[in-house]
Amino acid sequence: MRLEWAGRTFNPNDSSLAGPEAGPPRVVLQEEVGDGRNRVLQGDALDNAAALLEEGYGGKVRVAYIDPPYLSATDYAYEARLDGTKDGRVRRTHAFGDQWGEDGGAPRYLDMLAPRLHALSRLLSDRGTLWVHLDWRASYLARVLLDEIFGRDAFLNEIVWRRAPNLGRQAQSSQFGRTIDTILVYGKKDATLVPPTRLEPIEKEAIRRDEDGRPFTAAPRGDYTDQSIERLDAEGRVHRSKQGKVYIKYFLVKNERDEWCRERRVDSLWTDVAPIRHARLEERTGYPTQKPLALLERIISCASDPGDLVVDLFGGSGTTAEAAHRLGRKYIVGDAQSLAIATIRARLMRAGSHFVRQSTIAGSVVEAPLEATVERHGDETFEVRISSPVEPLAWWIEIEEGADGPLFSATPRWKTIWHSERGLGGKPAPIRDVARFSSRGPRLRVSAHDDEGKLYRMNWEIKR
């Protein structure tokens, strides 16, 4: 099946991601934090994918997740609460627009989405899966595109996530509340998923005990074959009633509240992952379309192994990157918006993750002048006090470390040696305004992000 729209030029059989004269985007190093095993790319998802394919990442990615625009005809705002979530000063700024023109803008939207889905499919390994997170406005369109790109047999799951309770104005509307998102899952030829289990409390009256005193609950045999019943009987998992009916035993375990529970495999209806509004205050970044960490941890856990590579080229608030870091996976995340990159960077620094920050934007990233004073105490000890931007989202100190290796095309190479980010939570720790550190490098670079994502920089020569 082929999805047609006005002005369609997308061709999944075309292997080029850019015009023949343009060539692959140039990757420019912006910053290095730690060992650089992970990457944060500022640039359009298509340019970032083209750069990764040029570098040889085709067939290397185990999980690709994207949370792209939803065709919502909405502008989204970022909200920074400078003094915590309960009261105090609030900064609001434009995060990104999901506007696609007249008549709903579906043709322009599909012109954007189709080649980026195709590019991501080319990055996947033979065991890789692509997870596309949308809602009712565009999920049905993406399903047809993905069938065309992967083939219908590559479809694995349609996950339905209940992202919000049915409350307020939508509960009073003349339709059923639109409280769900859809996550489409497609896989390459050897892709498999390992769904997790969850504990479901069992009513006391439904709990039985076997001859060894082990608690269990029972369910009818359903469609189990006689051969399967024999196997389960040998394992002590068959219960027969006085009338001779066969039931399957499910042995119980206790949860953290000391309740007896049955362990069940998670299916494709996810009602147990709370929306971000119910997440810990320390998790909420203020980015408008942030997804909960528990959601991405479930996706990455069931579709990859420790050490595998996870990619998200619509990185948003950085949930995919932090989840991958927490689970011992490598990650490459990207986004075209400066605010998203600033949010991702601050979040990963708070999480203690190492990465390199790069750009595929032509002409590199626009910088604004930073104002700071630098005092020197002895040969190698320095004190930097930042004055502009005022109360930044994050700021950091870098030292020059010579020329780049083959992975990068920009010189010189800069390595972060000190950093401070605004805290999150009810009463977050304020960002530090003075940096004290030691350095033997030839140059220092002071950098900062404000709450619009703008990048500020100042270089300082160290005279010996």
Q: In order of start, what are the domains of the chain with their CATH numbers?
A: 33-193+268-359 (3.40.50.150), 197-265 (no CATH), 367-461 (2.60.40)
Predicted confidence at residue 75, as pLDDT, reads 95
Question: Whole-angstrom Cα distance, residue 292 to residue 270?
Answer: 13
CB hemisphere CA count around 225 (13 angstroms): 3
In this structure, the strands spanning 215-220 and 208-209 are antiparallel
Q: At what angle do helices 45-54 and 106-123 cross, to 10 degrees?
A: 20
Question: Whole-angstrom Cα distance, residue 368 to residue 355?
Answer: 23
Question: Whole-angstrom Cα distance, residue 346 to residue 287?
Answer: 12
Q: What are the helix (H) ranges across 292-363? A: 293-303, 319-326, 338-351
Residues in contact with 231: Cβ distance below 8 Å, sequence separation at least 6, in sequence order: none
Question: Whole-angstrom Cα distance, residue 330 to residue 325?
Answer: 7
Predicted confidence at residue 88, as pLDDT, reads 77
12-45 tens-digit pLDDT: 988 777 544 456 788 888 899 988 789 999 999 9
Predicted confidence at residue 464, as pLDDT, reads 59
Beta strands in 67-214 (DSSP E): 74-81, 90-98, 124-134, 155-162, 180-187, 197-201, 208-209
Predicted confidence at residue 21, as pLDDT, reads 46
Asked whether 30 and 404 are in contact (CB, 8 A), the reply is no
Predicted confidence at residue 405, as pLDDT, reads 46
| Angle at the Cα of 213 from the Cα atoms of 212 and 217, rounded to 5 degrees | 110
For the chain, 464 residues long, the average pLDDT of each consecutive 10-residue run is 93 72 75 91 96 96 98 94 78 95 90 97 98 97 98 98 87 87 98 95 92 92 92 92 91 94 95 92 95 98 98 98 98 97 97 95 85 89 94 94 51 84 87 90 91 94 72
Which amino acid, one-letter code, is at 267? D
Predicted confidence at residue 19, as pLDDT, reads 47
What pTM did the predictor assign? 0.92
Predicted confidence at residue 141, as pLDDT, reads 97
Instruction: Please give the backbone phi and psi of residue 248, each rounded to the nearest 5 degrees, phi first.
Output: -100, 130
286-321 tens-digit pLDDT: 999 999 999 999 999 999 999 999 999 999 999 999
